[in-house]
């Protein structure tokens, strides 16, 4: 899991002793102010409708040839390095969650030395980049235990002026945090995001902690415990959260499954120049006509060119949720209409990939958009 609240994964079955989620104070988030005109971060941004004049590529290719109540966090203006970028001084990177969230750790891994900008919601992070409040955003796409973060797939389609320019994987290592002087045997309850609590269920039970308190954010849980000076409640959060909020780490790596990795996308206003001298991945979204074998035929454009698919995700088409099918029945049947999100191992600078997408668009897809073509993360998690 990456950030508690950053990981909007389908909520697991709650522990029988789970209680209502306390509302965390809004002060946990930095106010996002635009450099030029102030931009509202409400959900009132106009939605983009799939099917605009998006070309099959859409990505440029090279032309051959302490624990105080008010916790102050540093905001350094330094430089960051992204795949050949030269002018990155003062790069601001938005993420969803409180300072100390796993998403912030992912942002710092993606852009070392950056200035991180916490946002209350996923859409706030998208809008922060669109409005130039932030230069980049780092947001979770999928977790090895919890699956895809569907909200961000939907937002990718809506915010079609943003592009995926990279990916970063982060291993999630949960810690049990408490105020100074508190011992494990003093704890009666654990507070965190419901996904984090579910991932540590067996360990928490073994430690004798019976009650669970679900909140919106792992780092927010740590901040709440520190500010309220709770002595009988611990937080399941990151070691960075312990450092920021002045908490003790009572136990490390308390997740029940050690293979817990989250993949994040890196968003920017401009796409990067696709290359062929390093491993690249391309992310697309498309829709198809109804009919037998349509998806099989669509995916064959990649198989016939020996292009490997690494991920496929289907989501109901929000603009056209139902499709009427003529199945020779007295009553017309209604089916969901779907969008298909696909990642494949190829660069948009590769003519093979361009030919595959041209084939897909001309013969099968009713809508096709390239979300980004970017270097594959080959680093250690």
Cite the active site residues.
262, 264
Q: Which two tokens stand for residue 230?
A: 């709770």
Cβ neighbors of 295 (< 8 A, separation 6 or more) are: 288, 340
Q: What is the DSSP string of 111-147?
A: STT-EEEEESSHHHHHHHHHTTS-SEEEEEEEETTTE
Measured in Å, how far apart are the chain's first and last C-alpha atoms?
Answer: 12
- Dihedral, 51, 53, 55, 60 alpha carbons, nearest 10: -120
Which of 186, 189, 130, 188 lies closest to 155, judged by CA? 130
Name the packing angle between helices 294-303 and 351-363 (round to 10°).
Answer: 160
Q: How far apart are CA 145 and CA 260, in angstroms?
A: 6
Q: How far apart are CA 278 and CA 3, in angstroms?
A: 29
The residue behind tokens 């002793």 is: 17
Number of H helices, E strands in the chain: 9, 17
Which of 100, 88, 11 lies closest to 266, judged by CA? 88
Which of 110, 224, 221 lies closest to 168, judged by CA? 110
Q: Which two tokens stand for residue 60?
A: 């440029």
Cβ neighbors of 67 (< 8 A, separation 6 or more) are: 179, 180, 226, 227, 229, 245, 246, 247
229 φ/ψ angles, rounded to the nearest 5 degrees: 55, 45
61, 349 Cβ separation under 8 angstroms: yes
Residue 304 has a CB neighbour count (10 Å cut-off) of: 11
Residue 362 has a CB neighbour count (10 Å cut-off) of: 11
């Amino acid at each position: 899991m990456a950030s508690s609240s950053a990981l909007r994964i389908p909520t697991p079955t709650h522990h029988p002793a789970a209680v209502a989620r306390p509302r965390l104070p809004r002060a946990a988030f930095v106010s996002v102010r635009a450099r030029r005109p102030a931009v509202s971060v409400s959900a009132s941004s106009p939605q983009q409708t799939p099917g605009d004049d998006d070309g099959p590529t859409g990505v440029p290719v090279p032309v051959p040839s302490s624990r105080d109540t008010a916790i102050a966090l540093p905001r350094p203006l330094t430089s960051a390095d992204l795949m050949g970028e030269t002018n990155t001084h003062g790069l601001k990177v938005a993420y969803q969650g409180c300072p100390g969230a796993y998403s912030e750790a992912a942002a710092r891994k993606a852009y070392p030395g950056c200035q991180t900008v916490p946002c209350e919601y996923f859409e706030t992070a998208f809008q922060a980049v669109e409005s130039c409040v932030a230069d980049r955003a780092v947001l979770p796409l999928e977790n090895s235990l919890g699956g895809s973060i569907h909200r961000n797939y939907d937002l990718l389609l809506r915010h079609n002026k943003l592009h995926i320019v990279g990916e970063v994987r982060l291993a999630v290592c949960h810690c049990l945090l408490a105020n100074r002087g508190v011992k494990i045997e003093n704890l009666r309850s654990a507070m965190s995001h419901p996904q984090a609590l579910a991932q540590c269920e067996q360990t928490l039970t073994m430690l004798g902690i019976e009650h669970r308190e679900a909140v919106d954010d792992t780092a927010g849980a740590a901040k709440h415990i520190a500010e309220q000076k709770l002595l009988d409640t611990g937080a399941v959060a990151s070691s960075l959260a312990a450092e920021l909020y002045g908490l003790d780490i009572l136990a490390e790596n308390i997740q029940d499954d050690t293979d817990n990795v989250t993949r994040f996308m890196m968003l920017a206003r401009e796409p990067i120049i696709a290359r062929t001298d390093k491993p690249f991945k391309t992310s697309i979204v498309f829709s198809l006509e109804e009919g037998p074998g349509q998806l099989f035929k669509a995916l064959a454009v990649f198989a016939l060119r020996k292009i490997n698919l690494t991920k496929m995700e289907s989501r109901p088409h929000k603009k056209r949720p139902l499709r009427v099918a003529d199945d020779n029945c007295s009553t017309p049947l209604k089916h969901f209409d779907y969008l298909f999100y696909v990642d494949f191992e190829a660069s948009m600078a590769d003519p093979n990939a361009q030919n595959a997408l041209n084939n897909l668009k001309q013969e099968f897809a009713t809508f096709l958009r390239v979300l980004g073509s970017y270097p594959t993360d080959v680093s250690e998690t």
